[in-house]
């Protein structure tokens, strides 16, 4: 498309749960719901359109051994784009990916800085590894470096205990979260286990990643505080393999990981039923490939979340939660067009007919 061209999306435009339109126009890279006067160079795309998909837990610039080079990071971002993911909340990366902001052909990224973990309590080369006395200072630094989010590692295996255990004392996370909020940043935390959650939520955390340890007694607390979860079920699917690998050295941890995996769908459905905000995240990067949003949406549906709400968790609702526009009049035209109605079968998300980023059709 030339700079003066107009894109016409015709069929069904799913701009929100109660906002379904027959068409939209892309003029000057932005969404318009009125036919532009005098438009001549018009390209028409037919199908079912959604706002550009959101992966709310993704790691661009991160590989299995830590930071990756620019070429690899670019391939990660392109893979996400090709599967319709046009907005990423990067939930921790040791790489500087600010160069992506200058590329209008790559997904938009909201960064949470680098993971902040307890010493020797996370994957090597991923995080700042510190002790509790330094937590507030590191949170302040990452809050200033990020895009409104900070990422803590809330629990990890304690080798002496042989099981998952919280990483931080209650008073440390209270002070750290308060400092992040003072600086205008929200805080999220990696949490697999049950016993790390109450302190974090009562300390004022905004989101929990994975949340496999969410239990019946904690659900009302999450709902009351409005703490969101990003279940990353495509990542939780790896728990049995991880448990098998750790069985000999850490049998207690292995058994725990298997239990968390076995009840994963019940956990997510109970959270959804209680009104806890649930959003799509894949945990791509590190050891998982990019481009898994369609699989994660299908996993939410398998857990019992209705298809329309599972779609919302990666489109209009996720964008609102992250403070980014969807398909409102005048918004940047980031959208994905499908051959059939994704509400009828969310698996269609795996095969976009067209991806439109910043008003341009991705070839």
CATH code of the domain containing 299: 3.20.20.140
DSSP secondary structure letter of residue 289: P
- Assign 5 a pLDDT band (cuts: 50, 70, 90): confident
**What is the reported pLDDT for 219?**
98
Strand order across the beta sheet in which 108-111 lies: 53-58, 85-90, 108-111
Q: Region 128-137: what's the mean pLDDT?
A: 98
Q: Which two tokens stand for residue 281?
A: 């995240």
Q: Is residue 233 located within the same domain as residue 276?
A: yes
**Same domain membership, residue 135 and residue 40:** no
pLDDT level of residue 3 (50, 70, 90 thresholds): low
The answer to whether residues 223 and 272 belong to one domain is yes
What pLDDT, on the 0 to 100 scale, is given for residue 207? 98
Burial 231-251 (b: 16+ CB within 10 A, else e): bbbbbbeebeeebeebeeebe
On whether both 284 and 311 belong to a single domain, the answer is yes
Residue 1 lies in a domain: no
Same domain, 339 and 219: no
Per residue in 219-258, pLDDT (tens digit) is: 999 999 999 999 999 999 999 999 999 999 999 999 999 9
Q: Do 116 and 174 share a domain, yes or no?
A: yes
| Rounded CA separation 216/146 (Å) | 33
For the chain, give the mean pLDDT.
Answer: 96
pLDDT digits (tens, 9 = 90+) for 15-37: 999 999 999 999 999 999 999 98
Distance between CA atoms of residues 186 and 177, nearest Å: 8
Verify that 263 and 207 share a domain, yes or no: yes
CATH number of domain containing 22: 2.30.40.10
Q: pLDDT, tens digit, for every residue of 267-326?
A: 999 999 999 999 999 999 999 999 999 999 999 999 999 999 999 999 999 999 999 999
Asked if residue 14 is part of any domain, the answer here is: yes
Same domain assignment for residues 163 and 74: yes
- Would you say residue 77 lies in a domain? yes
Within a 10 A sphere around the Cβ of 17, how many other Cβ atoms? 14
Structural domain range at position 71: 53-321
CB distance 52 to 58 below 8 Å: no
Element (H, E) at 230: strand 228-230
Report the pLDDT value the prediction gives residue 38, as an integer from 0 to 100.
Answer: 78
Cβ within 8 Å of residue 247, ≥6 positions away: 254
- Number of structural domains (the chain) is 2
The structure's pTM equals: 0.97
Same domain? For 18 and 65 the reply is: no
Q: What's the pLDDT tens digit per position in 140-149?
A: 999 999 999 9
Q: Give the C-alpha separation, 2 to 20, whole Å.
A: 28
CB 291 within 8 A of CB 284: yes
Whether residue 2 has pLDDT greater than 60: no
According to DSSP, residue 172 is labeled H
Do 46 and 57 lie in a common domain?
no
Residues 148 and 262 in one domain: yes
pLDDT-derived band of residue 4, with 50, 70 and 90 as boundaries?
low
Tell me how far apart the alpha carbons of residues 142 and 149 are, in angstroms, rounded to a whole number.
8
The residue written with tokens 């439109």 in the block is 356
pLDDT value for 62: 98
Residue 178 above 90 pLDDT? Answer: yes
Q: What is the C-alpha radius of gyration for the chain, rounded to an integer number of angstroms?
A: 21
Residue 39 has pLDDT above 60, yes or no: yes
67 and 27 belong to one structural domain: no
Please report the pLDDT score of residue 40 as a whole number. 79
Q: What is the mean pLDDT of residues 157-179?
A: 97
Largest CA distance in the chain: 72
Task: Find residue 44's DSSP bridge partners.
Answer: 8
């Amino acid at each position: 498309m030339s700079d003066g061209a107009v894109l016409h999306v015709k069929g069904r435009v799913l701009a929100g749960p109660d906002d379904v339109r027959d068409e939209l126009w892309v003029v000057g890279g932005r969404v318009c719901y009125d036919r532009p006067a005098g438009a001549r160079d018009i390209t028409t795309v037919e199908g079912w359109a959604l706002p550009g998909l959101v992966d709310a837990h993704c790691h661009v610039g991160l590989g299995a051994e830590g930071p990756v080079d620019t070429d690899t990071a670019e391939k990660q971002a392109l893979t996400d784009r090709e599967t319709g993911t046009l907005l990423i909340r990067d939930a921790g990366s040791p790489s500087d990916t600010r160069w992506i902001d200058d590329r209008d052909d790559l997904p938009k990224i909201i960064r949470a800085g680098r993971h902040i973990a307890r010493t020797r309590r996370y994957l090597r080369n991923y995080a700042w590894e510190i002790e509790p006395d330094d937590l507030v200072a590191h949170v302040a630094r990452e809050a200033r470096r990020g895009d409104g989010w900070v990422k803590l590692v809330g629990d990890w295996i304690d080798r002496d205990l042989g099981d998952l255990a919280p990483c931080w004392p209650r008073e440390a996370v209270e002070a750290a979260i308060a400092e992040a909020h003072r600086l205008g940043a929200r805080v999220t935390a990696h949490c697999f286990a049950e016993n790390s959650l109450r302190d974090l939520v009562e300390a004022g955390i905004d989101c929990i990643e994975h949340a496999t340890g969410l239990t019946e007694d904690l659900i009302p607390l999450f709902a009351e505080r409005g703490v969101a979860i990003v279940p990353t079920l495509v990542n939780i699917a790896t728990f049995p393999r991880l448990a098998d690998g750790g069985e000999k050295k850490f049998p207690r941890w292995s058994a725990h990981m298997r239990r968390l995996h076995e009840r994963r769908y019940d956990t997510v459905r109970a959270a959804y039923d209680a009104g806890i905000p649930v959003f799509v995240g894949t945990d791509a990067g590190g050891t998982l490939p990019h481009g898994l949003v369609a699989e994660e949406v299908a996993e939410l549906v398998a857990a019992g979340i209705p298809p329309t709400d599972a779609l919302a968790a990666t489109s209009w609702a996720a964008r609102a939660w992250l403070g980014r526009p969807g398909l409102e009049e005048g918004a940047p035209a980031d959208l994905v067009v499908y051959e059939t109605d994704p509400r009828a079968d969310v698996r269609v998300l795996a095969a976009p007919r067209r991806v439109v980023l910043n008003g341009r059709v991705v070839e």
